[in-house]
Structure 1
Amino acid sequence: MKENEFQINYGKYYPIVYKQLYYLVGSNELAEDLTQEVFIKYYNSKEEIEFLGSWFSKVAANTAFNYLRGEKRRIKREENILEEVNNIFSIEDEIFRSEQIKEVRNILTNIPEKQRICLILKFSGYSYEEIHKATNIPQNSIGQLIARGKQKFLQLYKREGEINVL
């Protein structure tokens, strides 16, 4: 495709594609982003497009629907993670009645919040990717936060044991 042809079609079809996407997704910024995706697909297309208006309409609709389906799946995953975390904490409430678990809970409250959350989720069976999705903590920082949290926990646990012995 020639650069000039792309520029002409961009100017002609951009408002139409944008309006269709805005209608489908209901957000100005998102419609602009998706419109750019449609035009990137057009720019990279190798095939000869006979009915360009129809092509843009179809690609715009598919792009919007793909985005909305993905967003729906993302929200469902987040709800499932939150439900699992809530289940863990409701079970924890029952377990925390024992004295030893109360000690652990006290120690955990003295660990920095990000380290504490990562430790709890990791020892509840979550992978680094799942912890990242649940907390928005960068995935490459989670291992370091867990290691520091373990170290801080052990330090506080040993100190707590020394106090109880005395």
Structure 2
Amino acid sequence: MKKLLVLLLLPLLAPLASAQSTIYRCGNEYTNNATSAKERGCKPVEGGHVTVIHGGPPPGASAAPAAPAARSGAAPAPAPRAEGSAQRVRDSDARAILQGELAKSQERLAQLELEYNNGSPERSALELRNPQGYIERTASLKAQIARYQSDIAGLRREIARLPAAAADVPVN
């Protein structure tokens, strides 16, 4: 009985479900306001739904996809250059930040290598009873050391890419 009632009411409810207003396309914009759409000469969108995603690229930005070289892991484009002393200040700030990060990473790497003890870290009381915990900690230390070594190499590359420090540059 319930199935029959649902089947009879379904055709009556279908028009209510599809009672959406018409969507108009105005160039790259969409609207459902019929009066403004007619004033602007917009065309109605036939069939299907329109999903609007707010917050696209900033005005004046190109909507073209990134170059294949940029997506394949090539070096990022350099930051825009400022004029004279402002750029030197930027460069010296960047160098100071990178050198600070490098010092912290080198310090942490030294701590990890000391704890790793050439692949034989000291066993804790829990690890004496649970050898698997010791194996996992040793593997984790080894992975952390490799990660910090990679970070240090990257920081050194970034520092090398920066222009020479202001003290090294002769003034004309």
TM-score higher than 0.5 here?
A: no
TM-score, length-scaled by structure 1: 0.28
Q: Which has the larger radius of gyration?
A: 2
Larger helix proportion, structure 1 or 2? 1
